[in-house]
Amino acid sequence: MKISTALDHIDSRDLALPEFQRGYVWNRSQVRGLMQSLYRNDPVGTLLIWTTDADREHVRGIDNGGGTIKLLLDGQQRITTLYGIARGHAPPFFQGNASSFTDLYFNVNTEVFEFYGPVKMRDDPTWVPVTRIFTDQPAEVVKEIHRGDIDATLGFTHMERLTAIRAILDREIHVDEITGKERTIDDVVEIFNLINSGGTKLSAGDLALARICADWPQARETLMRIRSEWSNHGYDFSLDWLLRCVTAVGTNQAKFPGLRDLSVDQFVGALNATEKHIDFLLNLVGSRLGLDHNRVLGGRGAFAALCWHVDQSGGYIGDHAEQQKILYWYLHCMMWGRYSSSVESMLQRDLDAFEANGIDGAIEELRKWRGDLTVRESDFDWSTKGARFYPVLYMLTRTRGSRDLCDGIELKQGLLGKDSKLHLHHIFPKALLYKNGYDRKDVNALANMCFLTAKCNLEISDRRPTDYMAVSVENQPGALESQWLTTDRDLWEIDRFPDFLIDRRERLTKATNDLLERLYAGHESFEEEVGTGASIAIEAPAEDDVSDDVATLLELVVRHELKAPFVDDEVSDPETAQPIATVALNWPDGVQPGLTEPVAYVPSVDGETGSALSAVGYRFFTTSESLVWYLEDLLGIDIDGDQVVGDPVEGHTT
């Protein structure tokens, strides 16, 4: 079948997707790679089509009515990409981010495909929109490239290259076809799973969802709606995570294949119950522990076991003491990274423990696994906001009566005004510490961080602790102590910084253990629910608290409403949870979440660290210019306005 024929079948609604297919997941790098391969006439794989009279309720992108239909089982990403580029818009069955294939350009001199970047392509006619190559005659495009003054030899070369791109649509692509009335949707789902297991990798959750959608076509849409509602409240969860919770509630099993034993009605019932249970748990964790936002909600793997426990308790746990023990168990799961690896094994052990003896059984299982549940000073010997104990610091601030150092206001929910947002503050200014020879690990130690209002953070700026702490002691008695900060003025001196860190770790450790003990005993009480509200904003670091290049990049991010990066963040190995590097800016989910690789800005990096970052899938940049160029190329926007940021060389990622 010619590629053009496949695209025509989509236009005529004769070729569509089965509802169990996941949405479009390719990123721009994959789109470029496909076009480059087709242009070079390299192999690009085959298509697998199912010709059937299947119920059209199970189909996306096709009109209602009778007759035979063709369903694309394998090749969705490639055909969707080609349709979007050739037609200039997404196909009818599309679900995903169309910007992944929008604004692809071809350079007629270098024969390179790139996405539009204003700095690189503005006023350069040799960059041609690929969609235009498919819609306009090559001769007209060549005239515009040469602006009427066509060199015969070069014009002929350009004409050949444009014609070669248009010829991609005439290329034959092999099609394997499944036919026969004896083929059931179960058979096809099984084939789909086998085929896709070797392509763009599907998770176990993807495969489970494919099977569910075969019986209940509305499953994916329903799951996405539920996720969207949580996202509106500041929580971003993956489909895998939600399905894991549903699996636990519906089957008391950790592994997704357990869903096969559920009927559609049973799955819908388990999903509805799970949604309610997660709402209850988010409210409990958010109101009692102050972990009210995605950035500080660690240990989320524990929610699956908790959902099962809540379900077995009738859908709600009203006993105050048991609620407190649940929080105690959850905090330990979060602090010690119980679900950072071997998720299914840990979850099954916890499900069995809950089934055997409720929350007390789950706590005992934790003790067997951990050995000792006491928090020690060394546990706060972490650096940056990527650490597991960063949410603990946030939790203590939100729930233990911490006060602003400038105006003495308690830092909890309900603070009004832009200047009242919680900002992360380095107690000893970074510039001062670097000037005095302290290394990055100590500069960014959790013990050197506290939370203040935006107004106070800006007011303090880079002042020395000996200055602003003395003012706080005089004007706001008790504020320092509420933030677990020493009033020993000798420890405010720059040469006593290591002793200051030791002292504050001791204070934070004592506060954490006290909270945990009271939770376990059921004694911890709250005069008012903390609720959701104040959370850390993109503008958290004051400009004086970051380097000039980072401050400039943050300004660009805010101005163009890009995905907010984490500042001074720690990148850890997803398998071992061991820290790899501290980076100035971190997009762990990509600048386009779910569509692009993780991105980091790290101005100084050695070869070993760079290799480790690459090994865990990061694309990292060592200059602000190369990062800006990447963002422009990726997003197709003019980030730096009329300012030319330079001419980065090829291989600009490092």
> What's the confidence (pLDDT) of residue 472?
96
Q: Which of 67-71, 97-101, 223-227 has the least mean pLDDT?
A: 67-71
For 533, other C-beta atoms within 10 Å of its C-beta total 17
141 SS3 class? helix
Residue predicted with more confidence, 381 or 499: 499
- Check whether residue 161 and residue 26 sit in a common domain: yes
Could you tell me if residue 640 is inside a domain? Answer: no
For 553-557, which contacts have Cβ atoms below 8 Å and span 24 or more sequence positions? 553/585, 553/601, 553/624, 553/627, 553/628, 554/585, 556/628, 556/631, 556/639, 556/640
39: pLDDT strictly greater than 50 = yes
Q: Give the confidence band of 74 by pLDDT, cuts at 50, 70, 90.
A: confident
- Report residue 193: phi and psi, to 5°: -65, -45
Our measurement of the distance from residue 195's CA atom to the centroid of its chain's CA atoms, rounded to an integer in Å, reads 27
Lowest mean pLDDT of 387-391, 478-482, 576-580, name the range. Answer: 576-580
Range 207-222 average pLDDT: 78
Q: What is the DSSP letter of 628?
A: H
**Would you call 81 helix, strand, or coil by DSSP?**
helix
In the chain, DSSP finds a helix count (H) and a strand count (E) of 25, 14
Residue 85 domain flag? yes
What's the rounded Cα separation, in Å, for the pair 476 and 459? 15
Q: Are residues 224 and 349 in the same domain?
A: yes
SS3 call for 17: strand
Laid out side by side, the sheet with 113-115 consists of: 113-115, 104-107, 127-129
- Provide the number of structural domains found in the chain: 4
Give the contacts of 545 (CB within 8 A, at least 6 positions apart): 425, 426, 429, 430, 457, 461, 462
Q: Is the pLDDT of residue 54 over 60?
A: no
> Closest Cα to residue 24, out of 115, 86, 98, 131?
98
Residue 386: pLDDT band (50, 70, 90) is: low
User: Is the pLDDT score of 190 beyond 80?
Assistant: no
Q: What average pLDDT does the segment 484-502 reach?
A: 97
> Whats the size of the chain, residue-wise?
654
Task: Give pLDDT, residue 62.
Answer: 59
The Cα–Cα gap between 542 and 462 comes to: 9
Question: 378 vs 164, 329, 389, 444, 506, CA distance in Å?
Answer: 63, 21, 11, 15, 9
Bridge partners of 60, per DSSP, are 17
Question: Tokens in use for 548?
Answer: 């000039």
Which of 234-243, 553-562, 603-612, 634-643 has the weakest average pLDDT? 634-643
Confidence of residue 616 (pLDDT cuts 50, 70, 90): confident
Is residue 649 over pLDDT 50? no
pLDDT at 202 (0 to 100): 52
Is residue 359 over pLDDT 70?
yes
Q: Residues 512, 487: one domain?
A: yes
Residue 219 inside a domain? The answer is yes
Contact assessment for residue 405 and residue 480, using Cβ atoms and an 8 Å cutoff:
yes
Report pLDDT for 237.
87
Residues 592 and 481 in one domain: no
Do the beta carbons of residue 333 and residue 298 sit within 8 Å?
no
Question: Is 174 a member of any domain?
Answer: yes
Boundary residue ending a domain (373, 390, 406) = 373
Picking from 341, 373, 405, the residue at the C-terminal end of a domain is 373
Euclidean distance between the first and the last CA atom of the chain, given in angstroms as a whole number: 42
Tell me how far apart the alpha carbons of residues 517 and 504 are, in angstroms, rounded to a whole number: 20
Low-confidence winner among 64-68, 233-237, 272-276, 395-399 (lowest mean pLDDT): 64-68
Q: How far is CA 270 from the centre of its chain?
A: 26
Whole-prediction pTM value?
0.67
pLDDT at 150: 67
Q: d(Cα 369, Cα 338) in Å, to the nearest integer?
A: 9
Q: Answer yes or no: are the C-beta atoms of 366 and 373 closer than 8 Å.
A: yes
Backbone angles phi, psi at 6, to 5 degrees: -60, -40
User: What phi and psi, each to the nearest 5 degrees, are found at residue 231?
Assistant: -60, -35
Question: Residue 536: its pLDDT value, please?
Answer: 35
What per-residue confidence (pLDDT) applies to 546? 54
pLDDT higher than threshold 50 for residue 245:
yes
Pairing between strand 15-18 and 69-74?
Answer: parallel
| 439 and 476 together in one domain | yes
Is residue 188 a part of any domain in this protein?
Answer: no
% of the chain with per-residue pLDDT over 70: 81
**152 lies in the same domain as 221:** no
> Which residue, among 21, 18, 15, 19, has the nearest Cα to 69 in the 3D structure?
15
For residue 387, the number of C-alpha atoms closer than 13 Å in the C-beta half-sphere is 21
Per-residue pLDDT, 20: 67
| Residue in 366, 344, 345, 362 with CA at minimum distance from that of residue 353 | 362
Alpha-carbon distance 447 to 498, whole Å? 10
Cα–Cα distance for residue pair 425/462, rounded to 1 Å: 10
Q: What's the pLDDT band for 603 if we cut at 50, 70, 90?
A: confident
Radius of gyration of the chain (CA): 28
Tell me the mean pLDDT in the region 103-118. 89
Q: Are residues 15 and 116 in the same domain?
A: yes
543, 551 contact by CB (below 8 A): yes
Domain range for residue 87? Answer: 3-178
Instruction: Note whether residue 473 is domain-resident.
Output: yes
- Which amino acid is located at 575 in the chain? E
pLDDT for residue 398 is more than 50? yes
Among 121, 107, 126, 92, smallest CA distance to 13 is for 92
In Å, what is the CA distance from 93 to each residue of 1, 48, 57, 219, 230?
A: 20, 17, 13, 16, 26
Do 408 and 499 share a domain, yes or no?
yes
Q: Is the pLDDT of residue 197 over 80?
A: no
Output the average pLDDT for the chain.
82
* Residue environment code for 475-504, b if the CB has 16+ CB neighbours within 10 A, otherwise e: ebeebbebbbbbeeeebbebebbeebbebb
Assign residue 486 a region (left: φ > 0; alpha: ψ between -120 and 50; beta: otherwise).
Answer: beta
Residues 527-580 have pLDDT tens digits of 444 333 333 333 333 333 456 678 778 777 766 667 778 776 777 766 565 667
Q: Please tell me the predicted confidence (pLDDT) of residue 428.
A: 96
Distances (CA, A) of 120 to 99, 115, 630, 651, 653: 19, 10, 11, 15, 16
Least confident stretch, 278-282, 381-385, 456-460, 611-615: 381-385
Please check whether residue 124 lies inside any domain of the structure.
yes
440 and 418 share one domain: yes
* C-alpha torsion sign, points 370, 371, 375, 377: negative
Indicate whether 240 and 167 sit together in one domain: no
User: Do 603 and 584 meet the contact criterion of CB atoms below 8 Å apart?
Assistant: yes
Using DSSP, state whether 425 is helix, strand or coil: strand
Specify whether 268 is located in the same domain as 363: yes
Over 70: is that where the pLDDT of 297 sits?
Answer: yes
Three-state SS at 82: helix
Neighbours of 520 (CB within 10 A): 18
Is residue 586 one of the residues assigned to a domain? Answer: yes
CA angle, residues 177, 178, 182, in degrees to nearest 5: 160
Residue-wise DSSP of 270-289: HHHHHHHHHHHHHHHHHHHH
On the question of pLDDT at 622 being above 70, the answer is yes
- In contact, 270 and 308? CB cutoff 8 Å: no
Instruction: Give me the pLDDT at residue 642, please.
Output: 32
Q: Quick one: 391 and 364 in the same domain?
A: no
Angle formed by the axes of helices 264-289 and 390-399, nearest 10°: 60
Determine the pLDDT at residue 644: 29
User: 328, 344, 373 — which closes off a domain?
Assistant: 373
